[in-house]
């Protein structure tokens, strides 16, 4: 029997359950459009239910739950997101990816540990969308920084595994002469990208194709690309097709476009290194991120592994960078600019 104050120990033991539910409900707050509606105009529970066609009683319980966790507040029947919630909203991409994309996956980890079990599935659309939402903090600044090392004018680029396409939209807005071709094999993520490109009014500069990286090699090209981006995607090809698949893709694209610059972004697997895994950012994000790569068909690797692959493909590392220290000081996410030797 447990000795001493049982309630205190029980409350401590229940904290992971509290945060498990809280993360899911914060995801729903964003994903249902409730947050955006509350930011846009003043609402009572009843007017919010009408505006979004929601069940008023269920919505009442949902919002009261969030109020008790300090995520929304009620003042004179009006419900508003708290400042804490508005701050979290800046980082909603992490909720889209980890909860929208992988919450169901995490619930099946027990099953997949069995010998001979299949890889677990995920929600491909939410993975693509979430990763894109996160990219304004990691991938976009990284690629912008490495692009400045390309010694020519860039007018056309390929984004392989482009998810929701935010990356191409951001670049085409920033560089008015730039055009892009986005390749995305997940049907729902591809459709989300088509819609995002249309909403941005960039259909005349961004073309989308529903295909994988290796399928792209079979496609006809109308224009020669100046550079290609594979952002958190080589890990996917490595899981699906093995090392040969990654080499086939890189050498295949270089055979067609020998002067192509290639920008690779990856995350290094250091799940076994105690010191880095005690870093607050590693515990808040990378530990769970690593776990999902062990149970889905994706494979993270160390930097040396990727450098050996580049060597085998006759690719030279022209520049290398890490995510801004102010965002993530672990140096676990890195980026290479590559060109044929």
Count residues binding ligand SAM (CB under 6 A). 25
Site string for ligand SAM, 196-215 (x = CB under 6 A): ----------------xx--
- The string of DSSP letters for 206-267 reads EEEE---HHHHTTS--SS--SEEEEES-HHHHHHHHHHHHHHHHHHHHHHH-TT-EEEEEEE
CB-CB neighbours of 163 under 10 Å: 33
Q: Is 124 in the site for ligand SAM (CB under 6 A)?
A: yes
165 binds ligand SAM (CB under 6 A): no
Q: How far is CA 36 from CA 40, 51, 90, 292, in A?
A: 6, 12, 12, 29
Token couple for 12: 């401590």
User: Closer CB to ligand SAM, residue 62 or residue 171?
Assistant: 171
In whole angstroms, the minimum distance from the beta carbon of 297 to ligand SAM comes to 9
Verify binding: residue 186, ligand SAM, rule CB under 6 A. Answer: yes
Sign of CA dihedral 174, 179, 183, 189: positive
Q: Does 100 bind ligand SAM (CB under 6 A)?
A: no
In the complex with ligand SAM, the residue whose CB is nearer, 62 or 167, is 167
**Structure tokens that stand for 177 in this block:** 């002469």
Candidate residues 123, 170, 226, 236; the one interacting with ligand SAM per rule CB under 6 A: 236
Residue 212: CB minimum distance to ligand SAM, A: 4
Contacting residue, 170, 184, 301, 328, with ligand SAM by CB under 6 A: 184
Q: Please name the residues in contact with 60: beta carbons below 8 A apart, sequence gap of 6 or more.
A: 45
| Whole-Å CA distances, 108 to 51, 104, 128, 200, 293 | 36, 7, 21, 37, 13
**Least separation, in Å, of the C-beta of 296 and ligand SAM?**
11
231 makes contact with ligand SAM (CB under 6 A): yes
Q: Among the candidate windows 56-64, 67-75, 154-162, 332-340, which touches ligand SAM by CB under 6 A?
A: 154-162
If DSSP codes are grouped into helix, strand and coil, which group holds residue 73? strand
Identified binder of ligand SAM from the candidate list 240, 251, 294, 331, rule CB under 6 A: 240
Q: Which residues bind to ligand SAM, rule: CB under 6 A?
A: 124, 127-128, 131-132, 135, 139, 160-163, 167, 183-186, 189, 212-213, 231-233, 236-237, 240
């Amino acid at each position: 029997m447990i000795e001493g104050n049982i309630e205190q120990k029980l409350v401590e033991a229940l904290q992971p359950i509290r945060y498990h539910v809280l993360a899911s409900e914060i995801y729903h707050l964003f994903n249902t459009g409730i947050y955006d509606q509350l930011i846009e105009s003043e609402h009572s529970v009843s007017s919010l239910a009408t505006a979004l066609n929601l069940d008023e009683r269920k919505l009442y319980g949902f919002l009261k739950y969030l109020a008790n966790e300090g995520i929304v507040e009620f003042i004179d029947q009006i419900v508003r997101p708290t400042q804490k919630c508005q701050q979290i909203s800046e980082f909603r991409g992490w909720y889209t990816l980890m909860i929208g994309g992988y919450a169901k996956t995490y619930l099946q980890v027990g099953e997949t540990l069995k010998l001979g079990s299949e890889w677990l599935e995920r929600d491909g659309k939410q993975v693509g969308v979430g990763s894109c939402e996160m990219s304004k903090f990691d991938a976009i600044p990284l690629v912008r920084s490495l692009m400045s090392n390309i010694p020519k004018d860039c007018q056309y680029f390929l984004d392989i595994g482009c998810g929701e396409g935010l990356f191409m939209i951001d670049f085409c807005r920033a560089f008015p002469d730039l055009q892009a071709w986005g390749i995305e094999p997940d049907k729902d993520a591809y459709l989300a990208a088509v819609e995002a490109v249309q909403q941005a009014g960039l259909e005349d500069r961004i073309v989308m194709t529903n295909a994988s990286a290796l399928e792209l090699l079979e496609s006809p090209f109308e224009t020669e690309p100046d550079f290609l981006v594979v952002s958190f995607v080589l890990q996917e090809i490595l899981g699906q097709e093995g090392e040969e698949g990654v080499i086939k893709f890189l050498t295949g694209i270089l055979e067609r476009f020998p002067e192509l610059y290639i920008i690779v972004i990856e995350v290094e697997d250091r799940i076994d290194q105690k010191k880095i895994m005690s870093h607050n950012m590693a515990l808040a994000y990378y530990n769970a991120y690593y776990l999902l790569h062990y149970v889905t068909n994706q494979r993270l690797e160390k930097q040396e592994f990727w450098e050996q692959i580049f060597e085998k493909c006759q690719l030279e590392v022209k520049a290398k960078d890490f995510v801004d220290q102010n965002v993530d000081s672990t140096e676990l996410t890195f980026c290479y600019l590559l060109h044929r030797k």
